[in-house]
Amino acid sequence: MNTAPGAPVTAYVALGANLGDAPAALRQALNDLGTLPHTRLVRASSLYRSAPVDSSGPDYVNAVAELSTALGPYDLLAGLQQLEQAAGRERPWRNAPRTLDLDILLYGELRLDDPALTVPHPRMLERAFVLLPLAEIAPRLVSAAQLQKVEKQEISRLAA
Protein backbone atom coordinates (compact mmCIF):
# COMPACT_ATOMS: atom_id res chain seq x y z
CA MET A 1 0.00 0.00 0.00
CA ASN A 2 1.37 3.40 -0.98
CA THR A 3 0.82 5.62 2.05
CA ALA A 4 2.40 8.84 0.80
CA PRO A 5 0.05 11.46 2.20
CA GLY A 6 -1.83 13.87 -0.01
CA ALA A 7 -4.23 16.63 0.91
CA PRO A 8 -6.83 15.37 3.42
CA VAL A 9 -10.17 14.35 1.93
CA THR A 10 -13.45 13.58 3.66
CA ALA A 11 -14.51 10.02 2.98
CA TYR A 12 -17.58 8.12 4.17
CA VAL A 13 -17.35 4.39 4.79
CA ALA A 14 -20.23 1.96 5.33
CA LEU A 15 -19.68 -0.80 7.88
CA GLY A 16 -21.69 -4.00 8.11
CA ALA A 17 -21.53 -7.46 9.66
CA ASN A 18 -23.92 -10.35 10.25
CA LEU A 19 -21.70 -13.15 11.54
CA GLY A 20 -20.36 -13.56 15.06
CA ASP A 21 -20.71 -10.64 17.48
CA ALA A 22 -21.57 -8.07 14.80
CA PRO A 23 -21.93 -5.06 17.16
CA ALA A 24 -18.50 -5.79 18.67
CA ALA A 25 -17.00 -6.24 15.19
CA LEU A 26 -18.30 -2.83 14.11
CA ARG A 27 -17.07 -1.12 17.28
CA GLN A 28 -13.62 -2.66 16.72
CA ALA A 29 -13.66 -1.66 13.05
CA LEU A 30 -14.55 1.93 13.96
CA ASN A 31 -11.56 2.00 16.29
CA ASP A 32 -9.35 0.41 13.62
CA LEU A 33 -10.37 2.92 10.93
CA GLY A 34 -8.60 5.63 12.92
CA THR A 35 -5.40 3.58 12.91
CA LEU A 36 -5.09 3.53 9.12
CA PRO A 37 -2.10 5.62 7.99
CA HIS A 38 -2.81 9.32 7.50
CA THR A 39 -6.44 8.76 8.50
CA ARG A 40 -8.57 10.08 11.35
CA LEU A 41 -12.04 8.95 12.38
CA VAL A 42 -14.08 12.16 12.51
CA ARG A 43 -17.43 10.73 13.58
CA ALA A 44 -19.49 7.58 13.45
CA SER A 45 -23.21 6.92 13.33
CA SER A 46 -25.16 4.82 15.76
CA LEU A 47 -25.36 1.12 15.05
CA TYR A 48 -28.43 -0.06 13.13
CA ARG A 49 -29.94 -3.52 12.68
CA SER A 50 -31.37 -4.39 9.26
CA ALA A 51 -32.62 -7.42 7.38
CA PRO A 52 -30.26 -8.72 4.69
CA VAL A 53 -30.64 -7.06 1.26
CA ASP A 54 -29.51 -9.17 -1.72
CA SER A 55 -27.93 -11.46 0.87
CA SER A 56 -28.77 -14.18 3.35
CA GLY A 57 -28.15 -15.14 6.94
CA PRO A 58 -28.90 -13.29 10.16
CA ASP A 59 -29.77 -9.60 10.36
CA TYR A 60 -26.94 -7.18 9.71
CA VAL A 61 -25.57 -4.54 12.02
CA ASN A 62 -24.57 -1.42 10.09
CA ALA A 63 -23.02 1.99 10.63
CA VAL A 64 -21.36 4.77 8.64
CA ALA A 65 -18.08 6.49 9.52
CA GLU A 66 -16.74 9.85 8.39
CA LEU A 67 -12.99 9.84 7.85
CA SER A 68 -10.45 12.52 7.14
CA THR A 69 -7.78 10.78 5.11
CA ALA A 70 -4.74 11.69 3.09
CA LEU A 71 -4.74 8.22 1.52
CA GLY A 72 -5.72 8.02 -2.11
CA PRO A 73 -8.94 6.13 -2.87
CA TYR A 74 -7.19 2.90 -3.86
CA ASP A 75 -4.92 3.01 -0.80
CA LEU A 76 -7.96 3.59 1.40
CA LEU A 77 -9.68 0.62 -0.27
CA ALA A 78 -6.61 -1.55 0.36
CA GLY A 79 -6.58 -0.49 4.01
CA LEU A 80 -10.26 -1.33 4.39
CA GLN A 81 -9.72 -4.74 2.80
CA GLN A 82 -6.87 -5.42 5.25
CA LEU A 83 -9.20 -4.61 8.16
CA GLU A 84 -11.83 -6.96 6.69
CA GLN A 85 -9.28 -9.76 6.40
CA ALA A 86 -8.07 -9.18 9.97
CA ALA A 87 -11.70 -9.59 11.08
CA GLY A 88 -11.92 -12.96 9.31
CA ARG A 89 -13.75 -11.82 6.18
CA GLU A 90 -14.18 -14.54 3.61
CA ARG A 91 -15.68 -14.13 0.14
CA PRO A 92 -17.08 -17.57 -0.80
CA TRP A 93 -19.73 -15.97 -3.06
CA ARG A 94 -21.12 -12.54 -3.89
CA ASN A 95 -23.06 -11.05 -0.95
CA ALA A 96 -22.24 -13.96 1.35
CA PRO A 97 -22.78 -13.40 5.09
CA ARG A 98 -19.74 -11.65 6.56
CA THR A 99 -17.82 -10.93 9.71
CA LEU A 100 -17.05 -7.42 8.43
CA ASP A 101 -17.81 -5.45 5.28
CA LEU A 102 -16.29 -2.00 4.69
CA ASP A 103 -17.34 -0.01 1.61
CA ILE A 104 -16.27 3.44 0.48
CA LEU A 105 -19.48 5.38 -0.06
CA LEU A 106 -18.05 8.79 -0.90
CA TYR A 107 -14.49 10.07 -1.31
CA GLY A 108 -14.54 13.86 -1.45
CA GLU A 109 -16.06 14.94 -4.75
CA LEU A 110 -14.47 12.04 -6.65
CA ARG A 111 -16.45 10.24 -9.34
CA LEU A 112 -14.85 6.95 -10.28
CA ASP A 113 -16.15 3.86 -12.06
CA ASP A 114 -13.72 1.05 -12.71
CA PRO A 115 -13.62 -2.68 -11.91
CA ALA A 116 -11.71 -2.13 -8.64
CA LEU A 117 -13.67 0.78 -7.20
CA THR A 118 -16.83 2.77 -7.93
CA VAL A 119 -17.39 6.05 -6.07
CA PRO A 120 -20.00 7.11 -5.11
CA HIS A 121 -20.99 3.58 -4.12
CA PRO A 122 -23.36 2.41 -6.87
CA ARG A 123 -26.12 1.09 -4.57
CA MET A 124 -25.93 3.47 -1.63
CA LEU A 125 -29.11 5.35 -2.57
CA GLU A 126 -31.10 2.08 -2.62
CA ARG A 127 -30.30 1.04 0.95
CA ALA A 128 -31.79 2.29 4.19
CA PHE A 129 -28.90 0.72 6.10
CA VAL A 130 -26.59 3.20 4.36
CA LEU A 131 -28.81 6.27 4.07
CA LEU A 132 -30.11 6.41 7.66
CA PRO A 133 -26.68 6.23 9.33
CA LEU A 134 -25.24 8.61 6.72
CA ALA A 135 -28.07 11.08 7.34
CA GLU A 136 -27.38 10.86 11.06
CA ILE A 137 -23.79 12.08 10.72
CA ALA A 138 -23.99 14.11 7.49
CA PRO A 139 -27.61 15.22 7.01
CA ARG A 140 -26.71 17.57 4.15
CA LEU A 141 -25.72 14.55 2.04
CA VAL A 142 -29.09 12.77 2.20
CA SER A 143 -32.34 14.28 0.99
CA ALA A 144 -35.83 13.64 2.36
CA ALA A 145 -36.75 12.18 -1.05
CA GLN A 146 -33.87 9.69 -0.85
CA LEU A 147 -34.96 8.62 2.64
CA GLN A 148 -38.56 8.28 1.48
CA LYS A 149 -37.51 5.84 -1.27
CA VAL A 150 -36.12 3.40 1.32
CA GLU A 151 -38.65 3.94 4.12
CA LYS A 152 -40.23 0.49 3.71
CA GLN A 153 -36.94 -1.33 4.34
CA GLU A 154 -36.66 -2.87 7.82
CA ILE A 155 -34.12 -1.03 9.95
CA SER A 156 -33.84 -0.04 13.61
CA ARG A 157 -31.30 1.90 15.63
CA LEU A 158 -29.62 -0.16 18.34
CA ALA A 159 -29.34 1.15 21.87
CA ALA A 160 -25.95 2.69 22.59
Q: In the annotation, is 123 catalytic?
A: no
Active-site entry in 32, 49, 101, 127:
101
Host H or E run for residue 131:
helix 128-137
Active-site entry in 94, 103, 113, 123:
103
In the chain, where the domains are located: 9-157
Cβ-contact 118, 112 below 8 angstroms = yes
Cβ-contact 23, 47 below 8 angstroms = yes
Calpha distance 109→37 (Å, rounded): 21
Cβ-contact 136, 158 below 8 angstroms = no
Calpha distance 56→50 (Å, rounded): 12
Residue 4's SS3 state is coil
Residue 147: CB partners within 8 Å, gap ≥ 6? 128, 131, 132, 135
Predicted TM-score (pTM) above 0.75:
yes
Q: Nearest 5°: CA angle at 27, between 99 and 12?
A: 85
Amino acid at residue number 123:
R
Q: In the annotation, is 101 catalytic?
A: yes
Residue 29's SS3 state is helix
Kindly give the parts of the chain with pLDDT less than 70: 1-5, 55-56, 89-97
In tens, the pLDDT along 134-145 reads 999 999 999 999
Q: In the annotation, is 89 catalytic?
A: yes
Active-site entry in 32, 75, 98, 127:
98
Superfamily in which the 9-157 domain is placed by CATH = 7,8-Dihydro-6-hydroxymethylpterin-pyrophosphokinase HPPK (3.30.70.560)
Q: In the annotation, is 21 catalytic?
A: no
